[in-house]
Amino acid sequence: MPTASKPALQCDPEIFSRNFNRLPHEVQHALSDNPLFQLPALAKLAQQVAARENPHHSKGDIHVDQGKAISGKTDLREWAKGDIANLINQIESGQTWIILKHIEREPGYREVFENCICDILNLTGKKILEDIKWFEAILFITSPNRVTDYHIDRECSWLLQIQGDKDMHLFDRSDKDILPDEELENYWMVNNLSAVYKPQYESRALVYHLRPGIGVHSPVNTPHWLQNGNNVSVSLNINFQFHEHAWENLFKVNYYLRRTGLKPSPPGKYPFIDHIKSKFYTVFQDVRRSINRSPSVSEQNEARQHYHRIVETLASR
C-alpha cells in the first residue's frame, strides 16, 4: 500500500495539471535508497526476468545493447540463457545498455510500481483509467557515457533516476519544425524510427540533468535523446499506454487521409473531428480484426490480463 507520509513519486500539483501529457517537467521520487535498485539486487532481478517462461515479448523481456564494440552479438534469446548477472556486475567497464521489461511482475518491484502508479493517479485523477490500456515498469542499467539516440515513444512515461546521472534532452512535441505531423503518422503506421533528429533545433531542447531522486515526465511521442554521465546509471521508467482510440487512431486516420491528397487537422485542434475520426477508425479496425481473426482486447494473453487486474486493484483503492 502507498505510504501516506512519503509518496514514492511527487510533483507540484500546479505544474502537473498545467503540463501533464503536454510538456516535459521535473518530478521527485524516493527510490534512490531502496536496496532493490542496488546492483547486486539488479543482477538477481535480471536473472529472474531472463528465466520467465511466459514473457510479454516473444524474444524475452531483456534487451542488451553493447554498442559498436560488440555489435552483432546481441541475440536476445542467447542473453536470456546467458549469464546476465555477470554482465551487470561488469557494467562499469563496458559500453552496455540493459533493459529489463515489465519488472513489476517480480516480488518487491510490483509494490514499488503500484506505489508510483497510485501517486500518479492521485495527480491525474482516476478517471484517466478509462483511457489507459496497461501499465509497465522498465529498468534501464547503462554503462558510463552511453548515448541513447533520438527517438519518440508510444508511452506516457516518468523516467526516475536512481543511481548515477544523465542529461535528458526533450523537445516540445507540438513544435512542427521538430516533429512534423507526417513523421508522427509514419511512426504509428509504418516505422518506429520515423522521427528524425534535426540538429538545427537542438537549441530548443528542454535539458534536464537527472540525478538520484529526480525524474522527468515525458508525454506520449515527446522527442528525446539521452547522454549518460561518467558513471553507471540506473533509471526506472514508469509508464502507461493509452487505448488506441485516445491517441493512436487519430494519426492512423490522418495517415490515410494524407495519402489521398488531403491535409488533415492535427489531433487536438478540433476535438469533435477527432472524436469522429477515432470512432470511425475503431469500427474499421474491429471489422479488419474480425476478418483477419486477430485477437481482440478480451482475448489477450495471460501476461496482459495481469495488467487489467492491476488496473482494477488500483481503481478500488
Between CA 31 and CA 145 the distance in angstroms is: 23
Given strand 62-65, what is the order of strands in its sheet?
9-10, 25-29, 214-218, 156-163, 233-242, 132-142, 97-100, 62-65
Closest distance to Fe ion from the beta carbon of 155 (Å): 8
- Applying CB under 5 A, does 155 fall inside the site for Fe ion? no
* 159 burial type by CB count under 10 A (0-12 exposed, 13-18 middle, 19+ buried): buried
For the CB of residue 299, give the shortest distance to Fe ion in the complex, in Å: 29
Q: At its nearest, how many Å lie between Fe ion and the CB of residue 48?
A: 24
Binders of Fe ion among residues 174 to 213 (CB under 5 A) are: none
Q: Tell me how far apart the alpha carbons of residues 35 and 90 are, in angstroms, rounded to a whole number.
A: 19
Contact 225, 176 (CB under 8 A): no
Closest distance to Fe ion from the beta carbon of 224 (Å): 6
C-beta closer to Fe ion: residue 217 or 277: 217
Going by C-beta distance under 8 Å and a sequence separation of 6 or more, which residues neighbour residue 216? 24, 25, 26, 27, 158, 159, 168, 170, 208, 210
Tell me, by CB under 5 A, how many residues bind Fe ion.
1
In sequence order, what DSSP letters do the residues of 243-258 get, joined into one string? -GGGTHHHHHHHHHHH
Q: Which stretch binds Fe ion (CB under 5 A): 31-39, 120-128, 153-161, 175-183?
A: 153-161
Which of these ranges, 129-137, 152-160, 169-177, 265-273, lies near Fe ion under the rule CB under 5 A?
152-160
Q: Which is nearer to Fe ion, 119 or 153 (CB)?
A: 153
Residue with smaller CB distance to Fe ion, 99 or 128: 99
Taking the least distance from each CB to Fe ion, the nearer of 55 and 223 is 223
Binding Fe ion by CB under 5 A: which of 119, 153, 172, 248? 153
Check residue 136 for interaction with Fe ion (CB under 5 A): no
Residue ranges binding Fe ion (CB under 5 A): 153
